[in-house]
Structures are given as C-alpha cells and as structure tokens.
Amino acid sequence: MSEQHVYGFHAIEAILQIEPERILSVWSLTGRKDKRLDAISESLLRQGIQQQHVAREKLDELADSTRHQGIVALCRMAPTRNENFLNQLLDSLEKPPFLLILDGVQDPHNLGACLRTADAAGVHAVIAPKDNAATLNATVRKVASGAAETTPFITVTNLARCLRNLKERGIWLIGAAGEAGTSVYQQNLTGSLGIVMGAEGKGLRRLTRETCDHLVTIPMPGNVESLNVSVATGVCLYEALRQRTSD
C-alpha cells in the first residue's frame, strides 16, 4: 500500500512539520471550533494543501475509527527503513547507540506506545521483525502521537542475524525476561546499548533470548505476574536513560 489514512492531531502535525509533501488530501469535521484544529488548518493553508469539511460519519469511515479528533489526512507512505538504513544511521551517530528492539510485538496500540516512549527517552531507532509483528498503520501513528514520524522504525527480515550484526558493532544487547536473576536496576545500561523486549504474552523467542548478552527482570513485589509490554518498555528505557544521563 503506497497511501495511508492518518488521523489525530499529533500524527498529522508531525507529518506537516517533517514531510508535508506526503500529504495528499485532508478532511476535517464540519463546524468544529478548536484552537488545535484551527492551527493545523492554517499550516495546511500555508503549505497549499486544501481540506474538505465533512460530517463525522465520513471521518469515522475514512479513519475506520471514531478517535480521529476531527481530522483525517491521506498521505503517501514513507519509504520502508531496513538494515541498510540502520547501518547508515549507526555509522552517522556521534554518541553511543541507544536502540529498542521489539521481538514480535503484534498489538498496534502497544507498538504505538513503545514508539512514543522511545522518542521521549531519546532512542535512536526502534527495530522489529518484518513478519508476524505490527506495522506502522494508522492506529500505531495515532497512539504514537507523532513519534512514528520522528523515531526511525526499522523492519528486518531476520531479527537474529540483525542482533548478531549489532553485537559485532560492539552494541550490548539486554533482554527483558521475567525469569532473569538480575534486576534491570542492577544492570549497567550505559554505552552502546540495545534494549530487547518480547512479544505480548510470549516474551522473547528462544533464539533472541540466546543472542542477548544479558537478561534482566523488572522487580514486581505486588500481586500481578507481568506488565504490558509497552509499560515494561518504559521502565527499561527510562532506567537506561537515568544511567546514561547521571553524573
């Protein structure tokens, strides 16, 4: 698919700021008075992009969702980012790489939340397998609140091979696993780093687990047995950020 409907303030604002030429058409809610929507409309006008005012039912249909915040845009898909892009990115970095690797996260809401947290934590790229995992659809972009446009999302055909290549570059891979004996708060998360998170309910696959340099767990003294993958990702990324920015 070369075109995609994108909805929500953050997602459309991010495309407007970074690659407005990708926007082909815009529909907004008839009669809605909203400062945020007005600001987007002004930006569209400055870019020479016309918008159509339509009923809510039409927006629901275009977005295939009722959570569009009164605006939907038809956009050209950004080029797929692959291992070649990853290698170029790593070669260009002037500081130790900070990566998030998602081993088969399939829920678009979780992927969107992971992208949003990765952007907030200063992650250089998010890596995921091409198959059997969520893709950058409209739901992901809405939940990511613009982070799908600002944080490189790289899909690879063979995750285990990609992980080995990262290790050859001197990047330490730290996987999150409930049975690990080391707390994430005890693990050194400075330097060249890739945080590896498993899929919902399944965790890390065997080959991914074996490829990691260390496995860590999140302490859970309460009664629940596990955390949502996006929440666990936030815990791990922000502990890494704390260590990487502490004096």
- pLDDT tens track, the chain, 247 positions: 589 999 999 999 999 999 999 999 999 999 888 899 999 999 999 999 989 999 999 999 999 999 899 999 999 988 889 999 999 999 999 999 999 999 999 999 999 999 999 999 999 999 999 999 999 999 999 999 999 999 999 999 999 999 999 999 999 999 999 888 899 999 999 999 999 999 988 899 999 999 999 999 999 988 888 899 999 999 999 999 999 998 6
Q: Which two tokens stand for residue 208?
A: 């991914």
From the CB of residue 88, how many other CB atoms can be counted at a distance below 10 Å? Answer: 10
Q: Are 105 and 70 in contact (CB under 8 A)?
A: no
Q: What integer pLDDT is reported at residue 246 of this predicted model? A: 85
Q: What is the pTM of this model?
A: 0.91
CATH of range 83-245; options 3.40.50.2300, 3.20.20.70, 3.40.50.720, 3.40.1280.10: 3.40.1280.10
Are the folds of 3-76 and 83-245 the same?
no
Whether domain 3-76 has CATH 3.30.1330.30: the reply is yes
**Residue tagged 């950058």 (tokens):** 136
In whole angstroms, what is the distance from residue 184 CA to residue 175 CA?
10
Ranges of each domain in the chain: 3-76, 83-245
Q: What integer pLDDT is reported at residue 1 of this predicted model? A: 55
Q: What integer pLDDT is reported at residue 247 of this predicted model? A: 61
Q: Could you give the 3-state DSSP secondary structure of residue 205?
A: coil
| 81 CB-near residues (< 8 Å, 6+ apart) | 152, 153, 154, 155
Supply the angle between the helices 83-92 and 159-168 in degrees, to the nearest 10.
20
